Amino acid sequence: MGRRKFRPLNGILLLDKALGVSSNKALQDARFLFAAEKAGHTGSLDPLATGMLPICFGEATKVSAFLLDSDKRYITTASLGYVSTTGDAEGEKINPRPVPHLTDTALESVLDKFRGNISQIPPMYSALKKEGQPLYKLARQGVEVEREARNVVIHSLQVLARTDDTLTLDVVCSKGTYIRSLVEDIGESIGCGAYVARLHREFVMPFGGQKMYTLEELRNVAEQGMDALDQLLLPMDQALPDVPSMTLDDGQITRLRQGQRLFFPGQMDSELIKIYSTAHEFVGLACVQTQVLMVKRLLAC
């Protein structure tokens, strides 16, 4: 069997990551299946987490940073009465404590402390780095280092179900939010400790409600050929639905590609603008400052 030939491919795949698979492994499996020359994901999920992992192929990697900054929605099940050395079901369960009986009103009072703008200390089991070393590698060596608290926003925090020792929560949050830290902090506020028993990412904005595909589904589609697979990709500009757009003629686009700036009298300032050709093709991103259009990122021709 000859070596697989990879191809230039542009677009966004909404992958439904499976349980027990690292985000990088899921990315490489999808890239191999699509035979894409270039691919990147937009915010990793832990192996024990499932759900939406947007994968950007080719030129779509140029908009991946905007997805990293997007709000996300998670469904998580918190197990009460213990803490975990990793913050999730993978770690050793320690420090058992009785779970107090909480009325719905009392539970809402606890959760209300975690709605809106909150401060979080990132967990040791995370991909954040300390002096170039990922924290999770230090944690596996039994090393704990001081982490700076960060401000995040919990837009919505709702109880979907509860038992004597579990809470299933629906969380919509800003970038940088660690659900493990949120669950641990809620457990401490209740007084019994908690860890993440299950975590599923429902969506990354702006892809709420859109179809995700498991690797198994993608392999089945691949049997129909590459064209069938390519039909599952979203255009890269769909990652930026709220960004204003501007149409330029071929001459103007050529000048931008040559590094020139365009003068637009009367144009309002904008930090980000989608640029389209007169043929309605997405060309790239620019900004307008003091009536001058300046390139941020242009797609390859």
Alpha carbon dihedral 58, 59, 65, 71, in 10-degree steps, equals -80
Burial of 116 from C-beta contacts in 10 A (0-12 / 13-18 / 19+): exposed
Identified catalytic residue from 16, 29, 46, 71: 46
Residue type, 68: L
Q: Which residues contact 54 (CB under 8 A, 6 or more apart)?
A: 12, 13, 14, 15, 41, 42, 43, 64, 67, 204, 207, 239
In angstroms, the first-to-last Cα distance of the chain is 33
Number of other CB atoms surrounding residue 241 within 10 Å = 10
Alpha carbons 142 and 157: distance in angstroms, whole number: 32
Residue 46 catalytic? yes
Side-chain half-sphere CA neighbours of 150 within 13 A: 15
184 φ, ψ to 5°?
-60, -45
Task: Give the position of tokens 């800003």.
Answer: 174
**What residues act catalytically?**
46
